[in-house]
Amino acid sequence: MIAGRGYAALVHVLIWNNKPMGWDYQLRNEPIFNFVYEHRRQCRLFQGDSGFGADVIPVAGAMLGNVLIQAQANAQFRVGYHVPDDFGAILLRGFGNLPLPRDPASAAKTPKLGDSLFARAAGTAGARNLTLDGITFHAAPM
């Protein structure tokens, strides 16, 4: 340890900043809000009588608030045997919920055993990120 100053002082030494400024220099609390919209559409490319099929699922979304301002677009391509009638694999993230099945009645049906592969390509454009840009409503301490 650094002469009784604890682990916090050790971290500052390790990052070559040995001057911890204390609580007066911490970021202030502020409320956060974010509006999130995401649209998915399943486009069945083909579905054979044998159960073999393929689909593509384009996804577009936006987040607007003081946490994130960003737009995103991606597409998933799935091919396999008994490809599920849903909206594809999803990313677990802090905003939003898992997409519901396409047809509520299909959720009650016994699922068919199947196997499929998927590939996904995505892009994101961001204008603001609270975790990178700092707080919104107060001046940050220097």
Same domain, 7 and 72: no
On whether residue 99 sits in a domain, the answer given is no
What's the gap between Cα 102 and its chain centre?
21
On whether residue 21 sits in a domain, the answer given is yes
The pLDDT of 125-131, averaged and rounded, is: 90
pLDDT for position 54: 94
pLDDT tier for residue 102 given thresholds of 50, 70 and 90: low
Same domain, 82 and 123: yes
State which residues form the domain around 116: 31-89+106-142
Comparing 30 with 35, the larger pLDDT belongs to 35
On whether residue 82 sits in a domain, the answer given is yes
Same domain, 53 and 10: no
The pLDDT of 101-120, averaged and rounded, is: 72
Total domains present in the chain = 2
Same domain, 21 and 35: no
Is there a contact between 118 and 11 (Cβ–Cβ < 8 Å)?
Answer: no
pLDDT for position 1: 46
Q: pLDDT by residue (tens digit) across 60-96?
A: 999 999 889 999 999 999 999 988 888 777 765 555 5
pTM reported for the whole predicted model: 0.64
Same domain, 64 and 110: yes
Which position has the token pair 């936006």? 62
On whether residue 2 sits in a domain, the answer given is yes
Same domain, 79 and 116: yes
Q: Kindly state the percentage of the chain with pLDDT values over 90.
A: 29
On whether residue 19 sits in a domain, the answer given is yes
Same domain, 110 and 128: yes
Written as six digits, the tokens of 46 are 């083909």
Q: What is the rounded distance in angstroms from the CA atom of residue 102 to the CA atom of residue 89? A: 13
110: Cα within 13 Å, side-chain hemisphere: 1
Comparing 135 with 32, the larger pLDDT belongs to 32
On whether residue 95 sits in a domain, the answer given is no
Q: Kindly state the percentage of the chain with pLDDT values over 70.
A: 73
Same domain, 49 and 19: no
Same domain, 36 and 58: yes
Say yes or no to pLDDT of 101 above 50. Answer: yes
The pLDDT of 102-106, averaged and rounded, is: 62
On whether residue 101 sits in a domain, the answer given is no
